[in-house]
Amino acid sequence: MPRQHAHDAPGLRAWLGLLVVLGPVLLVSMDGSILFLAMPRISQALAPTADQALWILDVYGFAVGSLLIAFGSIGDRYGRRKLLTIGATVFGVGSAAAAFAPTAELLIAARALMGIAGATLLPSALAVLSELFADPRRRAQAIGIFAAAFAAGFAIGPILGGVLLQRFWWGSVFLVNLPVIAVFLLLAPVLLREVRATRPGRVDAASVVASAAGLLLAVHALKHVAAEGVSATAVGSGAAGVVLLAWFARRQQRLEHPLVDFSLFRDRVFTVAIITGLVPLAAWSATAYLSGVYLQSVLGLPVLAAALLALPGAVVLTTTCIVTPAVVDRVGKRAALVGCHLSIAAGLLALLPTATTGGVGWYVASTAIAGVGYGISFSLVADTAVGAVPVERAGSAGAIAETSNEIGNALGIALLGSLAALLFRLTGPGLAPTLDGTLQLPDLAPALADGAKGAFVTGLHAVAAVAGVVHLVLGGLALRWIPGARPAPAVEAAAR
pLDDT at 49: 81
Mean pLDDT value across residues 435-459: 90
Q: What is the mean pLDDT of residues 43-60?
A: 84
Quote the CA–CA distance of 444 and 449 in Å, as a whole number. Answer: 7
How does 66-97 read in b/e, with b if 16+ C-beta sit within 10 Å?
A: bbbbbbbbbbbbebbbbbbbbbbebbbbbbbb
Band (378; pLDDT cuts 50, 70, 90) = confident
d(CA 438, CA 447): 12
Render pLDDT for 324-369 as a digit per residue (tens, 0 to 9): 878 888 887 788 889 999 999 999 999 999 999 999 999 999 999 9
More confident residue, 228 or 283: 283
Q: Return the number of other C-beta atoms located less than 10 Å from residue 206's C-beta.
A: 11
Q: Is the pLDDT of residue 494 over 80?
A: no
Q: What is the pLDDT of residue 493?
A: 45
Residue 208: predicted pLDDT: 81
pLDDT at res. 496: 47
**Whole-Å CA distances, 129 to 134, 139, 144, 225, 368:** 8, 7, 11, 43, 31
Residue range 93-120: average pLDDT? 92
Mean pLDDT of 122-142: 72
Residue 484: the pLDDT is: 62
Looking at residue 466, what is its pLDDT?
A: 95
Residue 69 has pLDDT above 60, yes or no: yes
pLDDT of 394 higher than 60: no
What's the average model confidence in pLDDT over 194-200? 58
Residue 450 confidence (pLDDT): 92
Q: In this predicted structure, what is the pLDDT of residue 470?
A: 94
Residue 311: pLDDT band with limits 50, 70, 90: confident
Amino acid (1-letter code) at residue 283: A
The pLDDT score that the predictor gives to residue 383 is 64
Task: Report how far Cα 296 is from the mean position of its chain's Cα atoms.
Answer: 23
Nearest residue to 17 (alpha-carbon basis) of 101, 178, 125: 125
pLDDT of residue 451: 93
Average pLDDT over residues 377-381: 77
Alpha helix locations (H) across 295-443? Answer: 303-309, 311-331, 333-349, 360-387, 394-411, 417-427, 435-439
The arithmetic mean of pLDDT across residues 166-185, rounded, is 90
Is residue 283 within 8 Å of residue 366, measured between CB atoms? no
Most confident of 93-107, 133-147, 325-339, 425-439: 93-107
pLDDT at 396: 55
Give the whole-angstrom CA distance, residue 166 versus residue 304.
6
pLDDT for residue 204: 79
* SS3 state at 358: strand
Q: Under 8 Å CB-to-CB from 132, ≥6 apart: which residues? A: 10, 13, 14, 17, 18, 142, 192
CB 377 within 8 A of CB 317: no
**190: how many CB neighbours lie within 10 A of its CB?**
10
Predicted pLDDT of residue 492: 45
Question: Of residues 445 and 225, which shows the higher confidence score?
Answer: 445
What is the CATH code for 2-203+257-495? Answer: 1.20.1250.20
Phi, psi values for residue 358, rounded to 5°: 170, 165
Task: Count CA within 13 A, CB hemisphere, residue 140.
Answer: 13
